[in-house]
Amino acid sequence: MSPILSIGIYALMVALAFWMTDLCLRRWGRTAGRAKGLRKCWLIPGTLLALTPVAGAMLKDSPVKFALQAAGDVWMGFFLYYGFVLLVLLALSLAVKRARWRHGAALCLSLVIALAVWGYGFVHAQDTRVVHYDLALDKPAGQADHMRLVLLGDLHLSVNSRLETTKRMVALVNEQQPDAVVIAGDIFTSSYAGLSHPDAYAEALRGMRATYGVYAVYGNHDVEETLFGGFPISPISEAFRTAEMERFFDDSGFVTLADRVVTLGDAVQLAGRIDGEKAGDGTTDRMSPEALLKDVDTALPVLVLEHEPKEFEALKAAGADVALCGHTHAGQMFPGNLVVPFFNENAWGYKRVHDLDTYVTAGVGYYGPPLRVGTDSEITVIDITFKGEKAQ
């Protein structure tokens, strides 16, 4: 979406919310004298807060820009819930005849609900949980009969990230004693410079321990882009991955899989795909499933790691047994968790699609508002049992 259109839509939303707020204060002021004073003092701070995501998008990289981005993301989380709740309550109040108090009640209730939801969502977003799945594959895996994978995704390291949350994630991963860790992209949120102390994050991530190592693919946000309220507004042709981002992957101990296949142990094949939306070089070019998997041994397990949960039917036709994805955040914030299933064959969790076992993690981080409402920050543990005849 273009910057002008994005900011224009946002400006209309802000204007509507401000008009509803002023309407409530004017109507309430007829019966509550103090409301008249409130009308005089809320507009300036409200306008300054509303401008923070705009300033964060327009300024050049600097500490001031990143501070405004962080504040803008926080504001957006509050604003979206406040405006939505106020709109609903005002609509409902139309059905309440002769209730002279309804505008003041709607305004106060909207503020209380929005602040409560924001506070819950902010705290809950830092509370990472562990989700377990079991999978039986009717294929041999050399001498192994079991493999434990930890699937991560969407760390979204950015202006609102917290190092302690990353360290907690690493500790949870190590508690699972995985054979391999696979990360389904979006380590960043479209900016390297916006992450404070990246070396500390790389050091923390380097602490993950797995028998066969830690593997990662790039996501659609692992590029440099202009962000507005946490969402990209620059064209794909300008979305480039920087050398600093690639070096961060290396410094974090990741084996990066950009359209290539590796073998875990002596038989389990893991293919990692370039992101289909943003390849990182200003294009959307990547190998097709058929080209990527043309040399795999389909008599042995074939796992595919990619960011977005797409092309499941083509992956199965090319020989894949399991798809490991992220990207959706499971919707991140209510009512998003109710919407994303309409746009994804598997929006979250486990689902067998086109005879392919698919796993989509809700991810650890967040984009835009630093909130989780109706969804959880998670790491996904998959215990795979191989039932085929072992090689002699």
The 10s digit of each residue's pLDDT in 210-239 is: 999 999 999 999 999 988 876 788 888 889
> Residue range 290-301: average pLDDT?
96
Tokens of 66: 């990143």
Closest CA to 368 of 21, 80, 26: 80
Spell out the domain ranges in the chain: 3-124, 128-386
| 257 pLDDT tier (thresholds 50, 70, 90) | very high
Contact 92, 83 (CB under 8 A): no
pLDDT at 89: 87
Q: How far is CA 357 from the centre of its chain?
A: 22
> 371 and 118 in contact (C-beta within 8 Å)?
yes
pLDDT computed for residue 392 by the predictor: 45
Q: Determine the Cα–Cα distance for residues 385 and 138; give it in Å rounded to an integer.
A: 8
Task: Specify whether the CB–CB gap between 155 and 186 falls below 8 A.
Answer: yes
| Res 29: pLDDT | 63
Nearest to 46 by CA among 107, 121, 113: 107
Using pLDDT thresholds of 50, 70 and 90, give the confidence band for residue 107. Answer: confident
| pLDDT at 391 > cutoff 80 | no
Question: What's the pLDDT score for residue 35?
Answer: 56
Instruction: Check if the beta carbon of residue 303 is closer than 8 Å to that of residue 338.
Output: no
- Mean pLDDT of the chain, nearest integer: 91
In this structure, of 63-72, 91-100, 138-147, 240-249, the range with the lowest mean pLDDT score is: 91-100
What whole-number distance in Å separates Cα of residue 193 and Cα of residue 286? Answer: 27
Answer with the residue of higher pLDDT: 27 or 197: 197
pLDDT bracket for residue 33 (50, 70, 90): low
In this structure, whether the domain defined by 128-386 belongs to CATH 3.30.70.260 is answered with no
pLDDT of residue 105: 83
Say if residue 335 is preceded by a cis peptide, omega within 30 of 0: yes
